[in-house]
Amino acid sequence: MRLNNIALVAALVFGITSCSEAQQKASKPNPYYTHKGSSKMNLPDSEWKKVLPENTYNILRNKQTEAPGTGQYLHNDAAGTYYCAACGNPLFKSDGKFESGCGWPSFYQPFNDSSIITSVDKSHGMVRTEIMCGRCHGHIGHVFDDGPAPTGQRYCTNGGALHFEGAVKK
């Protein structure tokens, strides 16, 4: 009986410790997230893994895609700016967001010319244009030529790659 109690206490302590460590990682500020400066970042993925939540890390660093219709910003209509969730680089303004029906947050233009960089993506038997953060090169999503005027572009993004900050009301 005593051995079972020790095992139970050990399991509880381990569970509490694991939960506590996960909470600390989630609440610990990311030292690389800033809206100041625009210098390029070249951190190893091992460093990003230490400071980013698992879902954000998997999207930005491992180029994973969240399931359609599940992204936290899909139906966000508030005024503000969308930043890279890893480094804080401004990516999109809310006035460039539109409902595309694709299941992911969509924008018709980036925040500025250096916000987004692109690369040819030949994964999954397709040829697409990948969009990445212009500062940290994290994977944001893809851009397609089926968006609205004035650009005709649809920047299809993963909500987990974004951080939204609402506009300050005066």
For residue 115, what are its two tokens? 């916000």
Task: Pick the catalytic residue from 87, 133, 136, 156.
Answer: 156
Provide CB contacts within 8 A for 140, sequence distance 6+. 60, 84, 91, 116, 131, 132, 133, 155, 157, 158, 161, 162
For residue 17, what are its two tokens? 């410790």
Provide CB contacts within 8 A for 119, sequence distance 6+. 129, 130, 132
For residue 80, what are its two tokens? 């503000």
Tell me whether residue 84 is one of the annotated catalytic residues: no
- Contact 80/163 with Cβ under 8 angstroms? no
The residues annotated with a catalytic role in the active site are 156
